[in-house]
Structure 1
Amino acid sequence: MTTHTVSGLPDLIQVVAEQQHPLLFATISGAHLYGFPSRDSDIDLRGVHLLPLHDLLGLTPPQETQSRMWDADGLEMDLVTHDLAKFARLLLRPNGYVLEQLLSPLVVHTTPEHTALAGLAPRLLTRHHAHHYRGFAKTQWRLFGKSGELKPLLYTFRVLLTGIHLMRAHEVQADLPTLLDSVRAPDYVRDLVAAKAAAEHGHLSTLDGAPSHERLTADVEALHAALDEAEQSTMLPDQSDAGTDLNELVVQTRLRAGGVPVSDLSDRP
């Protein structure tokens, strides 16, 4: 698994060590993953933890998602982790967001289980992931209409390009500058990325030579049409065939954590 580091961030390894339950992985998501962080961007940490068998076998339903927000050296930190079983269920839905977290190259903490999960990712991709990116883009476009900020506008372009690339190349790519090298998009998007780097909540209206709302609307509609066409022509399947192996990975990981001997994850095909 290829990993990268992000300079200028607080000690994230210490954050991992402080969690109540052991983490199978922790990665950086958000603007840092998407390729347009600003100096004051939040740090979005996402990952998977493993609940103990005691919590799972009792009468009280366990809390499968844990979240925490705090300030570190003037930066807002946001940590959200899911228990392995919940994360696996999310992976089996057409949810590109959790795939991006799993496959993020900005890795803070990893384990063999993380590697095993990532190894199943190609078999989790379906044509229906286009629905996720289409819906996400519409939500961000509405937010841009209300705020006029660069951030939701760039999110709109990013998720549409990610969806198009996924349908065509059968891989998850969340970095907007990289996507601009592989998917045709308006030339001004690179300028918007540069402007966003200067201010987390910068407004489009403050930019010299900013595209008009009419131009933006036409370009976003064209990318929606391109995503529709890519979905129709993709060779991705309608349904993942990785459910059985994903379930087995969850079971083996639970048993291993409980001290029950199981086969090595690295031996799985």
Structure 2
Amino acid sequence: MRSLPPSLDAQVVAEIDRRLRAVEDDHQVRIPWAIESGSRAWGFPSPDSDYDCRFLFVRRRDHYVTLWPRRDVIETPLDKVFDVNGWDLAKTVRLIAKGNATAIEWLRSPIIYTGDPVFRDALVALTDQIAERSAIGRHYLHVCIRQRTGMVTLKRFFYALRPAAALRWLEVHPTSTVPPMDLPTLLEEGDVDADTRAAADELIALKSRTRELGTQSPPSILERFVARELDHAEHFESMPPTGDQARNRALADEFFRSQLA
């Protein structure tokens, strides 16, 4: 499975492919899922955005049965172009069970370097069974709050705007658990008013053609939107889990064991 837009640099993609093959060979792991995260997958890249490839890897069964487990993260050299690293499947499933939306987002990225659709669909199905809406809401709430601390540049503002849009999406879809990954879809499906959407579209367009957005303040209409969604989402802080934790852990264990060779 592979889905790459023509806007990606072919030479960069070739190097990412090479790094993924090297990870499998050097670490003796299987990579069933490798995608693009970051601003390119979130729908607001800049001309100089780096490539944030994230992958999931699975070790052989005997590597998990040891008193000295290996690291649950594999990293490749980081530079101005490449940010390629991945998580062990065990780490990923544990985080999904805890409500970490980052791991869940990777399964929905529109940019896929390589992937086994059977693996992805099975992990998505597990997510639908065990992910807690309350934990997902808290995840986006806390991300948004962190990004609003300190000096907020236009570039950094996007990292508050997207989780705020995710919180809005959750409010509009009260029976759903996992929001879409990219900002334009969140705004479209979040019943956001036309003026706010227009301001966001204009800012996204500006970022797409500007290498450095500068330190000026974000549009006031978007700042109000973020503040409003944070206020509306405060209830996630006290919302209790609704699922059976023992059942969720059993389902997570069952899926994890099914992926071991």
Contact map agreement 2:72 2:88 (CA 8 A) in 1: yes
TM-score for the superposition, normalised by structure 2: 0.80
Superposed displacement of residue 239, structure 1 = 3.1
What's the CA shift for 1:125? Answer: 4.1
State the one-letter code of the partner of 1:224. Answer: L
Greater CA deviation, 192-201 or 172-181? 192-201
| Alpha-carbon separation, structure 1, partners of 2:145 and 2:202 | 22
**Residues in 2 aligned to 1:201 and 1:52: alpha-carbon distance in whole angstroms:** 44
CA distance, structure 2, for counterparts of residue 122 and residue 224 of structure 1: 25
Instruction: Check whether the contact 1:134–1:224 (CA below 8 A) recurs between aligned residues.
Output: yes
**Bigger CA drift: 219-228 or 128-137?**
219-228
Partner of 1:100: 105
Q: For the Cα contact (< 8 Å) 2:3–2:113, is it kept in 1?
A: no
Deviation per residue, 1:144-169 (Å, 9 max, x gap): x42x4222201111111113313543
Letter in 2 for 1:189: A
Q: How far off is 1:47 after superposition?
A: 1.9
**Paired position in structure 2 for 1:157:** 161
Residue 59 of structure 1 and its aligned partner are, at CA, apart by: 2.9
Change over 3 Å in CA distance of 1:139–1:52 after alignment to 2: same
Deviations 1:115-145 (A, max 9, x none): 2112222222422211110100011112xx4
- Name the counterpart of 1:264: none
| TM-score between both structures, scaled by the size of structure 1 | 0.78
Assess, with a 3 A threshold, how the Cα gap between structure 1 residues 201 and 33 changes in structure 2: closer, same or farther.
same
SS of the equivalent of 2:259 reads helix
Give every structure 1 segment of 4 or more consecutive aligned residues whose post-TM-superposition deviation is greater than 6 Å. Answer: none
User: Counterpart amino acid of 2:164?
Assistant: L
Instruction: Sort the Cα spacing of 1:89 and 1:188 in 2 relative to 1 into closer, same or farther, 3 A.
Output: same
Aligned counterparts, 1:1-40, within 5 A: 4-7=3-6, 8-9=8-9, 10=12, 11=14, 12-19=16-23, 20=27, 21-40=29-48
- The answer to whether residue 243 in structure 2 is matched with residue 239 in structure 1 is yes
2:104 is the counterpart of 1:115:
no
What SS class does the counterpart of residue 189 from structure 2 fall into? coil
Tell me how far apart the structure 2 counterparts of residues 216 and 158 of structure 1 sit (CA, whole Å). Answer: 11
- Cα separation, partners in 2 of 1:211 and 1:84, compared to 1, 3 Å: closer
Moved more, 35-44 or 163-172: 163-172
Structure 2 letter corresponding to 1:57 = V
Quick check: 1:157–1:220 contact (8 Å CA) kept in 2? Answer: yes
Tell whether 2:189 aligns with 1:182.
yes
Structure 1 contact 166–173 (Cα < 8 Å) conserved: no
Q: CA RMSD in A?
A: 2.7
Cα distance in structure 2, aligned partners of 1:139 and 1:192? 21
Residue 57 of structure 2 corresponds to residue 49 of structure 1: yes
Residue number among 70, 90, 94 corresponding to 2:95 in the alignment: 90
- Supply the AA of the counterpart residue of 1:149: T
Classify 1:200/1:90 alpha carbon distance in 2 versus 1 (closer, same or farther; 3 Å).
Answer: farther
Partner residue in 1 for 2:86:
81
Is 1:191 aligned to residue 196 of structure 2?
no
Which residue matches 1:266?
A: none
The question of whether the paired residues in 2 share the 8 Å contact of 1:126 and 1:239 is answered with no
